[in-house]
Amino acid sequence: MAVDTDVRPDDAPAPAPAGQGRRVRRPWWSRPLQPSWWKGLSAGLLQRVGDVRARRASRPPRPPVTGTAAALSASLTMIGLVCLWLVVQLLGLSALRHDRDQALLYQQFRTEVASATAPVGPVTDPGEPVALLRIPSLGIEEVVVEGTASGDMLAGPGHQRNTVLPGQEGTSVIMGRSSTYGRPFAALAQLRPGDTFQVVVAQGTKTFTVLDVRGTGDPLPAARTAGTARVVLATATTDGRLGALSPGDAVYVDAEAKNAFAAPAGLPSALPDSEQLMGTEADVVLPLLTACLAGLVGLALLLIAARQRWSAALVWTVASPVVLALAWVTTDVVVRLLPNVI
């Protein structure tokens, strides 16, 4: 019997589709979660949550903090916040205030110069802009305000009120901070004889040439010649960010310009100690500081009363903005107790 060994096309098996015939391993991140594994994980998590809730429910309620312990806790927390805020504001946030004040002062001074209403002396209200100081080599462009009390110089460098305005015939004194509120004069000691800078006042612009950079006890420069304008830039030396809160020796930069502007007569003959270099405003701000501290004490008492009714987390969440605002005001007052050039 003959065997048909011919293979007809219709009898041939169909080729396997691409990808079939071998097992393809998917990466672990693309594999679907197995229902049994997922159910086990969910059950385990639910069991743990239930155990935690059960343990919390079995604990006796925490007794509220009252009496001396509550007062001490709230007071220490308040003191800690104020002290921390003092350091943060002096070495960090004070620069933001300085930048904002400088922007507002620049717009005001620019408008007054354009409208010929900028002050020319001899008497100007403290805090008003009187000049624009530009020292390109140090990256300084600062609006100078009238007055050198510590509170006046929170916004920028201050002009000593019993001296002529910079650029006028005579000697003008400008003081600036070295470590807080923008640190405008932090690099002042880097100037060298022969360097130049500009000062813009209501009467025009003058270019000054540095004569000398000196410290406390160094010899004074030669006497000013007639018809010239001299300016003395003054600040204090610093040593690091935190060490700068304790000022060192004074630094003076003497500079001179020719063809000075006319200076009106009638300058104040004397200034209080608070407006001298390294001066403080202790006599002026102590009553205000007392009021701020009284406000902090009152706020601490309110916190103690609130913690008797609500949780500490809720109380501090609501009270923190008020505490920080009062701490900000208190810090500005405390700064006026410090030397005016730090």
Spatial distance between the Cα atoms of 6 and 169, rounded to a whole number of angstroms: 123
The Cα–Cα gap between 234 and 218 comes to 14
* 66-342: CATH class: mainly beta
Predicted TM-score (pTM) of this structure: 0.74
Residue 111 is which amino acid?
Answer: T
Q: Phi and psi for 126 in degrees, rounded to 5?
A: -60, 140
DSSP letter string over 264-290? -S---S---GGGSTT---HHHHHHHHH
Q: Domain ranges for the chain, please list them.
A: 66-342
Tokens of residue 27, six digits: 């990466």
The single-letter DSSP state of residue 115 is T
Spatial contact of 229 and 261, defined as CB atoms under 8 Å apart? yes
What spatial distance separates the first Cα and last Cα of the chain, rounded to whole Å?
Answer: 119
- The torsion angle over the Cα atoms of residues 124, 127, 128 and 131, rounded to 10 degrees, is 100
Local confidence pLDDT in tens for the 342 residues of the chain: 444 555 454 555 555 555 455 555 666 555 555 556 556 666 667 777 776 677 666 666 555 555 566 667 666 776 777 777 777 777 778 888 899 999 999 999 999 999 999 999 999 999 999 999 999 999 999 999 999 999 999 999 999 999 999 999 999 999 999 988 999 999 999 999 999 999 999 999 999 999 999 998 899 999 999 999 999 999 998 765 555 566 678 999 999 999 999 999 999 988 999 999 999 998 888 888 889 888 888 888 888 788 778 887 888 888 888 887 888 888 888 888 888 998
Partners of residue 142 on adjacent β-strands: 133
